[in-house]
Amino acid sequence: MPVMFFFSYMRRAVLSCAVILAALLSVSAQAQSVGHSAPQSIGISLEDLSAQITKLDLRYAPTTMQSVFLAETALDEVQPLQKQLQSWFLVAERACYERFFVNACLDEAKLMRRKHNVILQRVSIEAKAFLRKDHIEHLDNELKLKNTQ
C-alpha cells in the first residue's frame, strides 16, 4: 500500500509540474511576442503624432515668437496635439494592462507622453508669454495716450 501511495503521489506531482511548465512557457512566449515596448498601433498612431509634434517643435523653435498672429497660431496648433497625446496615452495605458509586463509597458508609455509633452508645453508657454507681453505693451501705450491728453 505505501508503494502505491508513493507512485500516485509522484504521478500527481509530475502532472502538476507539467501544467506549471506549460503555463510558464505560454507566458514566456506571449511576453516575447509582445515585447516590452508601449503599444504603437493603437487608435492614434504614435508615429504620426510624434512627427506632428516634431514639426511643431521645428516651426516654433525657442525665441521665434515675434508676432501675435504667430503666437495665436502656435496655441491653436498645440491644443489639439495635447488632446491627441492624452488620448493616445489613455489607450496605451489600457492596452498595457492586457500585457504580462504591465509596469514596463506603463513606464514606456509615460516616458513617451512626457517626452512629447515637454515640447508642447514649451511652445504653449512661449506663445502665452509673448501674448502677455504684447497685452501689457498695449495697455502701457493706452495709458501713455491717456496721460498725454
> What is the pLDDT, as a whole number, of residue 88?
94
Separation CA 33–CA 110 (nearest Å):
21
- Residues (pLDDT < 70) of the chain are 1-43
Q: How far apart are CA 24 and CA 123, in angstroms?
A: 48
- The helix/strand count (H/E) of the chain reads as 4, 0
Query: What pLDDT was estimated at residue 27?
Result: 38
Q: What tens digit of pLDDT does each residue of 30-66 get? A: 433 333 444 444 457 889 999 999 999 999 998 888 9
Distance CA 39, CA 106 (A): 10
C-alpha cell at 143: 495709458
Q: What is the pTM of this model?
A: 0.66
